[in-house]
Every structure is written in C-alpha cells, then in structure tokens.
C-alpha cells in the first residue's frame, strides 16, 4: 500500500487522491491535517462515502473497480497486497473480475478481528511477496506467486495446472520463473505434480486437456511422443498443431469445449483440410471424454494407426489388466510377446 515515508519528497493531498483512485483511509486523511469532525462532516453531506470501516471514497457516485480495490487494501492496512483471484485479474491471468476481493497480509496481523470486511477475503502468510510497483499502482503479489497461490487453493489438479499453462501461454511467466518460485516455497499442495506439470508445460502442453492426453493416452500406453504446439506454415497462414507426429503424418487436436460456434468449426475444418491437401497429414480431434473415460480405447485405436503407418510398437503397453492395448499386443506380437501386463499402481491412481 502507499507509504509516504518511502518517497524522497512529501506527497500532496491531490497526489494521494490521484494515486489511490480518490480513496483514502482515516489515517491518511488525518495525516494530511484533516480532523475527525471534518471527515464526518463530509460523509454526512454526501461529498464523501464510507466504503469500509475507516476507509472513504472522496467523491459521490458509484466507485470504480480500482476504487473498490484500493478501499480493500487501505482497510486491511499496512503490508497488505492484492492476491489470488484479484491479483490474477490485475496480471491478466484471467479475463473476469473476482467476485470477492482477495488480500494477503503477514500472519501476525488480524485485520478483520474487530470489524468484519464485507466482500473481502483476507489471507495470512508468514512471507508476503509484493511486486515492486510505483505508488500509483495497486499493490499485488508477483505473477509467479499469484499462480502458485491459486494452484495451492485449487480444488483439483486440473484447475491448478490450468493456472500454470495460462501464465506461460499468455507470456506472463516462464517455466524457469515458476520453477524457481515453486522451489522457494517450503509448503505447497501438489508439489510433485506441479513439478512434473512444469516439465510438460515446457514441452508444449498448454491446457489441462492436453496434459491429460500426454499423461493418460500417450505416455501411459507407450505411444510415440508428439511435437507439442508444432508451428506449421499452411495455406491459411501460420498454425500451431496441438500434437504433431511427423513420422506418421498424423495430428491430434484437442478441444475441451462441448460446442463450437460455426465460424470456429469452419476454421478447424480449414486447417484440417490444409494439413491433408498439402502434406497428406490426417487430423484427429479428441474431446474431454476421449482422454478420460475413453482414454484406453482411443490409445488402442491410435496405436493401431501408428502400427499401420510403420511404427514398430516396441514401447506399446497396457495401462492395466482391462486395457484393450493387451489384445492389440497379442495380435501384433503374438501371445508370448504380450506379457507386458499391468503391475502396481498406474498413473491413473494419482489424484485428478
């Protein structure tokens, strides 16, 4: 939050209002020479409005989003920073506003103990990370810390992974930066899975759906490894293919949406046609069910296609005793070569 003591010159009243979207705390107003009676008089007259206990908008009318955020930070008090979903909003990790304003403070502070703070969620931690910013910008956690905070609070690992890939996909944080931030945390949920996921993100897996495909379809069954987000120049321009198998002239595209607008369907069809017309590359499109409940069936069908296109199948294996890959192995290698059976826990035993 704005701390006048950090600046080489004093901050004027007008600068203070400008910096903080015209929102001030009781302490700041008094620091500028205003008495408690003067503050109360302005509130009674309607010139000011109370946003939180001891926090005021120095104007009438509807407060802006920035004003609401400044009010939360000033109400929570010194060393407060916006965090979690609210920091994600400021960093452009998400395109929607958080319904609650999330603020993090040092663990020794209890800002809501005496007076509740409506619409504000207060998080407490031993080490509050704040991004270095000029005084006219809202204090917030750095983007890497924001991503890890959200991953740690996620209900499922798919949700946690989505924050990682959103940060890397939007160019807001690199995999090495996220890896360093993860290493610096003494405690965090999903640590092992996050470490593995960062390696997959560096390889090009860009969404939870793509991660499931890589983990549960491709790697769990010993299929060939694709090139992730492969850049190709086609008739319709530069395209990025989710999973491209150049040796087998095959592309697997993934989409978690249950429906497409007509223009998106035509764009997808155009790219598929370009692949086929130019380089004889077939395109398969998988959805969520194909990489979850139907993962083994689709892996078996992919394996059969790879085998027909020249793959030796040396790494092919079933993920469990009921996996249809076992039958494919018997047909392809014979009974004596098909003893690559399931032993011990599989990758599907880890929490999703």
Which H or E run includes 230? strand 227-234
- Asked if residue 264 and residue 299 are part of one domain, the reply reads yes
Domain end position, chosen among 141, 174, 192: 141
Indicate whether 192 and 278 sit together in one domain. no
Instruction: Note the residue count of the chain.
Output: 352
Q: State the pLDDT at residue 238.
A: 65
246 and 158 in a common domain = no
pTM flag (> 0.75): no
Assigned token pair, 162 = 């989505």
In a shared domain, residues 150 and 135:
no
Q: Yes or no: say if 26 and 54 are a contact pair by the CB < 8 Å rule.
A: yes
DSSP state of 340: -
Select the more confidently predicted residue: 113 or 43: 43
Residue 269 has pLDDT above 60, yes or no: no
Note whether 156 and 283 are same-domain residues: no
Mean pLDDT, residues 126-142 taken together: 84
User: Does residue 293 share a domain with residue 236?
Assistant: yes
Same domain, 137 and 163: no
What is the reported pLDDT for 220? 95
Number of domains in the chain: 3
What residues are paired with 285 via a beta bridge? 253
**Mean pLDDT, the chain, whole residue set:** 83
Q: Do 30 and 94 have their domain in common? A: yes
Comparison of pLDDT for 351 and 245, the residue scoring more? 245
Out of 141, 169, 191, a domain closes at 141
User: Would you state the pLDDT for residue 29?
Assistant: 93
Burial of 266 (0-12, 13-18, 19+ CB in 10 A): exposed
Q: At what angle do helices 157-169 and 191-203 cross, to 10 degrees?
A: 40
Mean per-residue pLDDT, 204-224: 86
Mind listing the pLDDT tens digit for each residue in 15-62?
999 999 999 999 999 998 999 999 999 999 999 999 999 999 999 999
pLDDT given at position 229: 78
11 and 120 both lie in a single domain: yes
pLDDT score recorded for residue 342: 44
pLDDT average, residue stretch 221-248 = 81
**For the ranges 118-122, 276-280, 295-299, which has the lowest average pLDDT?**
276-280
- Together in a domain, 195 and 270: no
What are the angstrom distances between the C-alpha of 189 and each of 112, 149, 156, 351?
A: 26, 10, 10, 12
230 class by beta-carbon count within 10 Å (0-12 exposed, 13-18 middle, 19+ buried): middle
Same domain, yes or no: 216 and 335:
yes
Q: Which domain holds residue 305?
A: 209-349
Indicate whether 241 pLDDT > 90.
no
Q: Where are the alpha helices (DSSP H) in the chain?
A: 13-19, 26-31, 36-45, 65-76, 84-91, 143-153, 157-169, 175-184, 191-203, 208-212, 262-279, 295-308, 325-333
Clarify whether residues 217 and 281 are in a common domain. yes
Residues 305-315: what's their mean pLDDT?
A: 93
The rounded distance, in Å, linking the Cα atoms of 350 and 234 is 39
């Amino acid at each position: 939050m704005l701390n006048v003591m950090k600046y080489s010159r004093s901050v004027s009243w007008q600068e203070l209002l400008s910096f903080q979207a015209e929102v001030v705390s009781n302490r700041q107003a008094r620091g500028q020479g205003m008495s408690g009676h003067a503050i109360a008089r302005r509130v009674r007259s309607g010139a000011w409005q109370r946003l939180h206990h001891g926090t005021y908008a120095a104007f009438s009318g509807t407060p802006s989003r920035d004003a609401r955020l400044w009010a939360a930070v000033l109400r929570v008090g010194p060393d407060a920073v916006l965090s979690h979903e609210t920091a994600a909003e400021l960093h452009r990790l998400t395109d929607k506003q958080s319904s609650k304003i999330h603020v993090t403070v040092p663990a020794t502070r209890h800002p809501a103990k005496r007076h509740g703070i409506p619409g504000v969620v207060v998080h407490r931690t031993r080490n509050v990370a704040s991004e270095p910013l000029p005084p006219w910008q809202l204090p917030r956690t750095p983007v890497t810390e924001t991503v890890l905070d959200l991953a740690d609070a996620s209900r499922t690992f798919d949700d946690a992974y989505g924050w990682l890939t959103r940060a890397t996909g939007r160019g807001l944080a690199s995999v090495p930066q996220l890896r360093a931030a993860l290493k610096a945390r003494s405690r965090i949920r999903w640590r092992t899975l996050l470490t593995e996921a960062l390696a997959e993100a560096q390889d090009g897996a860009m969404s939870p759906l793509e991660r499931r495909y890589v983990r549960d379809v491709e790697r769990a069954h010993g299929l060939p490894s694709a090139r992730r987000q492969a850049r190709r120049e086609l008739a319709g321009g530069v395209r990025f293919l989710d999973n491209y198998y150049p040796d087998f002239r095959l592309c697997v595209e993934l989409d978690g949406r249950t429906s497409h607008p007509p223009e998106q369907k035509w764009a997808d069809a155009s790219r598929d046609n370009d692949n086929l017309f130019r380089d004889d590359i077939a395109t398969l499109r998988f959805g969520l069910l194909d990489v979850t409940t139907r993962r083994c069936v689709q892996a078996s069908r992919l394996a059969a296609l790879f085998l027909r296109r020249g793959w030796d199948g040396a790494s092919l294996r079933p993920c469990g005793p009921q996996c249809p890959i076992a039958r494919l192995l018997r047909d392809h290698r014979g009974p004596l070569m098909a003893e690559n059976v399931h032993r011990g826990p599989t990758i599907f035993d880890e929490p999703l």
